Amino acid sequence: MLKVKNKKWQQVIDLCFENGQGHVFRFWDEMNDDQRSELIDQLSRIDWPQMNQLIKQALNPVKQIKHKLEPAPVISLTERETLDRQVIPLGEEALRSGQVGVCLVAGGQGSRLGFDGPKGCFPITPVKKKTLFQLHAEKIKAMSLKYSVNLPWYFMTSRSNHEPTLAFFEEHDYFDLGKENVFFFVQEMIPAVDEHGKFLLAEKHRIFKSPNGHGGILKALYQSGALKDMKQRGLKYIFYFQVDNVLVKMCDPAFIGYHIQKKAQMSSKVVRKVKPEERVGIICQIDGKTGVVEYSDLDDEHRYARDENGQLKLWAGSIAIHVLDVQFIEDENKNGFKLPFHLAHKAIPYVNEEGKLVKPLEKNGFKFETFIFDALLDAKKGCTIEVDRSQEFSAVKNKEGFDSPQTAQQDLMRNYGNWLKQCGVEIPMKDGLPAFPIEISPLLAIDAEELKIKLKTIPVINGPLYLE
In angstroms, what is the minimal distance from the CB of 139 to ligand UTP? 15
From CA 340, how far away is CA 372, in angstroms rounded? 10
- At its nearest, how many Å lie between ligand UTP and the CB of residue 229? 19
Pick between residue 302 and residue 397 the one whose CB is nearest to ligand UTP. 397
Q: Which stretch binds ligand UTP (CB under 6 A): 8-16, 102-110, 129-137, 257-265?
A: 102-110
CB of 197 to ligand UTP, least distance (A): 21
Nearest to 314 by CA among 337, 334, 348, 286: 286
Using CA atoms, how far apart are residues 218 and 418, in angstroms rounded to an integer? 37
Binding to ligand UTP, residues 141-170 (CB under 6 A): 156, 158
Question: Is the CB of 167 or the CB of 458 nearer to ligand UTP?
Answer: 167
Q: Give CA–CA dist 285/377, Å, rounded.
A: 10
- What is the maximum span of the chain, computed from C-alpha positions, in angstroms? 79
Shortest gap between Cβ of 320 and ligand UTP (angstroms)? Answer: 7
CB 164 within 8 Å of CB 121: yes
The only residue of 119, 136, 141, 249 in contact with ligand UTP, by rule CB under 6 A: 119
- CB 66 to ligand UTP: min, Å: 26
Task: Using alpha carbons, select from 98, 173, 101, 180 the residue that is nearest to residue 134.
Answer: 173
Specify whether the backbone of 84 is left (phi greater than 0), alpha (psi in -120 to 50) or beta: alpha
Smaller CB separation from ligand UTP, 205 or 214: 214
CB nearer to ligand UTP: give 12 or 200: 200
What is the per-residue binding string for ligand UTP in 53-82, x denoting contact by CB under 6 A?
------------------------------
Nearer to ligand UTP, 105 or 286 (CB): 105
Q: Which of residues 9-38 bind ligand UTP (CB under 6 A)?
A: none
Q: At what angle do helices 253-261 and 77-96 cross, to 10 degrees?
A: 90
Q: Is 397 in the site for ligand UTP (CB under 6 A)?
A: yes
Contact status, residue 383 vs residue 259, Cβ threshold 8 Å: yes
Which helix H or strand E contains 329, and what residues bound it?
helix 326-333
Closest C-alpha to 271, from 396, 395, 386: 386
CA gap 468, 49 in Å, rounded: 55
Instruction: Identify which range of 12-20, 45-53, 99-107, 352-360 contacts ligand UTP by CB under 6 A.
Output: 99-107
Least separation in angstroms between residue 161's CB and ligand UTP is 8
With CB under 6 A as the rule, give the number of residues binding ligand UTP: 22
Please name the residues in contact with 373: beta carbons below 8 A apart, sequence gap of 6 or more: 215, 268, 281, 283, 291, 292, 318, 320, 322
Closest CA to 393 of 239, 270, 294, 295: 270
Specify the residue, 220 or 438, whose C-beta has the smaller distance to ligand UTP.
Answer: 220
C-beta of 266: minimal distance to ligand UTP in Å?
Answer: 16
DSSP per residue, 352-371: -TTS-EE--SS--EEEEE--
Residue span 352-381 as binding mask against ligand UTP, x where in contact by CB under 6 A, dash where not: -----------------x------------
Select from 35, 52, 109, 333 the one that contacts ligand UTP (CB under 6 A): 109
Q: How far is the CB of 29 from ligand UTP (least distance, A)?
A: 34
- CB-based contacts of 60, cutoff 8 Å, min separation 6: none
Residue 107, interface with ligand UTP (CB under 6 A)?
yes
Residue 104, SS3 per DSSP: strand
Quick note: the x/- pattern for ligand UTP over 267-306, rule CB under 6 A, is ----------------------------------------
**In the complex, minimum distance from the CB of residue 323 to ligand UTP, in angstroms, rounded to a whole number:** 17
Which residue lies nearest ligand UTP, judged by its C-beta?
Answer: 108
| Cβ 202 to ligand UTP shortest distance, Å | 16
Closest to 194 (Cα-Cα) out of 345, 55, 21, 365 = 365
Going by C-alpha positions, the residue among 258, 245, 259 that lies closest to residue 407 is 245
Using CB under 6 A, which residues numbered 192 to 251 contact ligand UTP?
A: 211-214, 216, 242-244
When computed from its CA atoms, the radius of gyration of the chain, rounded to whole angstroms, is: 24
The one-letter code for the residue type at 89 is P
Residue type, 121: C
User: Closer CB to ligand UTP, residue 84 or residue 244?
Assistant: 244
CA 328 to each of CA 290, 379, 382: distance values in angstroms, whole numbers, following the listed order:
16, 8, 11
Least separation in angstroms between CB 253 and ligand UTP: 23
Q: Which is nearer to ligand UTP, 125 or 187 (CB)?
A: 187
Q: What is the nearest approach in angstroms of ligand UTP to the Cβ of residue 5?
A: 38
What is the binding site for ligand UTP (CB under 6 A)? 105-112, 119, 156, 158, 187, 211-214, 216, 242-244, 369, 397
